[in-house]
């Protein structure tokens, strides 16, 4: 290792420490902080964000990168970790150096206040409380775009932050190809006899659901000596290093079992975050290749594993024993069909697999139109409700069940939503490959064994961190770039069985 690379790694370690300190404060804001702490927390996050930005975009880092790019010019970043570190860091640097530290500080203050306003607005189901804050967020997002060279579409700049290399046009092509196939499947299901799921709406003990979820994800491989679970208004996973990756969940009285699936979902993120190669600690290589790859992991553990028949063949006897009154007379087959019921719903995170992507397409369209200036923030509730009626045939009765349900916009994460749907596609691609490599996977899951699955994911996906761009990683593992066909096959097979299509 060269002396220059050592110097770069030392600076990157300090930048990572500052960002992780910000992440700790962000976690605390959603888990523990009293509402009155918002202004002070915003200033704290602004200071740390500004310091990290100044340190990372320094002339010293730029000079080291220029010299190291020349030094590693002939190396293969696919096999050489040091060359990959230089490539990924240079990419991050080229983007970061365009963004003034003052803007980073301003964004931290605006989004901290926006988050608190969103929580109050959602609680009171009153969009007007959040509206002025979201208007500031959107203005900042538009300003952020101006720091970069003109792209094919302004939204490309935002999307690239979450899905490197992906273009708005690419996402539209994928979604335009996927939408009619999902609509066709949903129509076929709608003409079938509906599944009974009233027993899932009964009163379930929150503590028992929490404990059951903890038991499940412990078997998945979540290491509680390196993590913890707390409650938050919107479930999330956050990482402060390879050995401190935390998850959150929430309890919904009207949809109690959602708590269990939320725990599984966030554990998928956590397993990925904690699985990078140890040498990537405190460097930009640590973490996930992209948000779509991240979502492929969370959606895989939540749905392809957690909503599968083999999974419940193992866990249902214990679940029924835990909730005997709620599940009295409910067979395994009836329970399995109920947790996979297809029905247009208001809340994205509780949507079934067949309709979920339509929720994402709605949000993507609104984000693009806000960036283009075609949709004003004040009009979002009305437009949201109108399109929910068009896409899913239902209209939210209030803002909390409509436009205020997601946390993302309050944090300035505009450009994020499409990665959820892309993650669904990647999860199915990986699943087909996994089942070829582990032909008895279903039988292992029936026995409550997940070690082979986690080992496969660790070796093929997790260990690489951000070493590969997402499309390159998917191609390396599955043989093709992100493709909707495996997901359509998965949905068609699953719901043909559930609904007897």
Pairing relation of β-strands 245-249 and 229-231? parallel
Cβ-proximal residues to 117 (8 Å cutoff; 6+ apart), any chain:
129, 130, 132, 133, 410
**Residue 224 CB-density burial (10 A; 0-12 exposed, 13-18 middle, 19+ buried):** exposed
Cβ-proximal residues to 219 (8 Å cutoff; 6+ apart), any chain:
448, 450
The helix-helix angle for 291-299 and 470-478 (nearest 10°) equals: 50
The rounded distance, in Å, linking the Cα atoms of 478 and 402 is 37
Q: What Rg, from alpha-carbon coordinates, does the chain have?
A: 23
At 286 the three-state DSSP class reads: coil
Please report where in the chains the tokens 């080229």 appear, as a residue: 94
Question: Which residues form the catalytic set?
Answer: 266
Q: What angle do CA 119, 122, 123 make, to 5 degrees?
A: 85
Smallest Cα–Cα separation from 288: which of 141, 421, 164? Answer: 164
Distances (CA, A) of 303 to 178, 262, 349, 384, 491: 19, 11, 12, 27, 11
The rounded distance, in Å, linking the Cα atoms of 179 and 407 is 25
The rounded distance, in Å, linking the Cα atoms of 284 and 85 is 7
The rounded distance, in Å, linking the Cα atoms of 170 and 174 is 6
The rounded distance, in Å, linking the Cα atoms of 128 and 399 is 10
DSSP string, 405-422: S-SGGGGT-TT-THHHHH
The rounded distance, in Å, linking the Cα atoms of 260 and 202 is 15
CA 23 to chain centre: 16
The rounded distance, in Å, linking the Cα atoms of 228 and 386 is 40
Residue 246 — φ and ψ, nearest 5°?
A: -115, 150
Give the DSSP H or E segment for 366.
helix 356-372
The rounded distance, in Å, linking the Cα atoms of 253 and 242 is 34
């Amino acid at each position: 290792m060269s002396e220059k690379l050592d110097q770069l790694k030392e600076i990157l370690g300090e930048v990572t420490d500052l960002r992780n300190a910000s992440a700790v404060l962000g976690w605390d804001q959603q888990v523990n902080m009293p509402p009155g702490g918002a202004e002070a927390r915003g200033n704290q996050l602004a200071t740390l964000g500004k310091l990290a930005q100044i340190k990372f975009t320094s002339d010293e880092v730029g000079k080291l990168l220029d010299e190291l790019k020349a030094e590693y010019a002939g190396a293969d970043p696919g096999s050489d970790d040091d060359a990959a570190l230089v490539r990924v860091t240079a990419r991050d640097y080229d983007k970061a150096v365009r963004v003034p530290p003052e803007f980073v500080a301003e964004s931290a203050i605006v989004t901290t206040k926006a988050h608190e306003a969103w929580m109050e607005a959602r609680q009171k189901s009153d969009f007007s409380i959040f509206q002025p804050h979201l208007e500031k967020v959107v203005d900042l997002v538009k300003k952020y775009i101006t720091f970069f060279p003109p792209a094919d579409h302004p939204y490309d700049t935002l999307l690239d932050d979450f899905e490197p290399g992906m273009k708005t046009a690419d996402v539209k092509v994928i979604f335009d190809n996927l939408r009619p196939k999902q609509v066709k499947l949903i129509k076929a299901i709608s003409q079938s006899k509906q599944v009974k799921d009233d027993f899932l709406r009964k009163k379930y003990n929150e503590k028992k659901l929490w404990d059951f979820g903890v038991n499940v994800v412990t078997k998945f491989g979540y290491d509680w000596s390196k993590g913890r679970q707390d409650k938050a208004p919107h479930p999330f996973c956050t990482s402060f290093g390879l050995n401190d990756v935390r998850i959150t969940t929430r309890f919904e009285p009207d949809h109690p079992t959602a708590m269990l699936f939320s725990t599984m979902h966030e554990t998928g993120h956590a397993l990925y975050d904690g699985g990078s190669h140890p040498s990537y600690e405190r460097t930009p290589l640590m973490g996930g290749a992209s948000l779509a790859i991240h979502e492929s992991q969370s959606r895989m553990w939540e749905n392809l594993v957690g909503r599968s028949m083999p999974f419940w063949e193992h866990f249902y006897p214990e679940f029924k024993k835990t909730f005997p009154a709620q599940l009295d007379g409910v067979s395994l087959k009836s329970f399995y069909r109920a947790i996979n019921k297809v029905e247009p719903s208001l809340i994205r995170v509780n949507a079934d697999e067949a309709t979920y992507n339509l929720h994402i397409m709605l949000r993507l369209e609104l984000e693009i139109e806000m960036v283009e200036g075609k949709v004003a923030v004040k009009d979002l509730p009305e437009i949201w409700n109108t399109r929910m009626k068009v896409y899913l045939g239902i209209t939210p009765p209030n803002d909390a069940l409509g436009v205020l349900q997601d946390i993302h916009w309050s944090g300035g994460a505009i450009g994020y939503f499409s990665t959820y749907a892309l993650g669904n596609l990647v999860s199915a691609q990986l699943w087909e490959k996994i089942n070829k490599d582990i032909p008895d996977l279903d039988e292992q899951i029936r026995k409550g064994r997940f070690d082979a699955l986690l080992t496969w994911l660790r070796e093929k996906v997790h260990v690489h961190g951000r070493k590969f761009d997402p499309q390159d990683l998917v191609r390396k593992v599955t043989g093709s770039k992100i493709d909707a066909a495996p997901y359509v096959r998965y949905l068609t097979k699953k719901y043909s069985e559930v609904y007897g299509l």
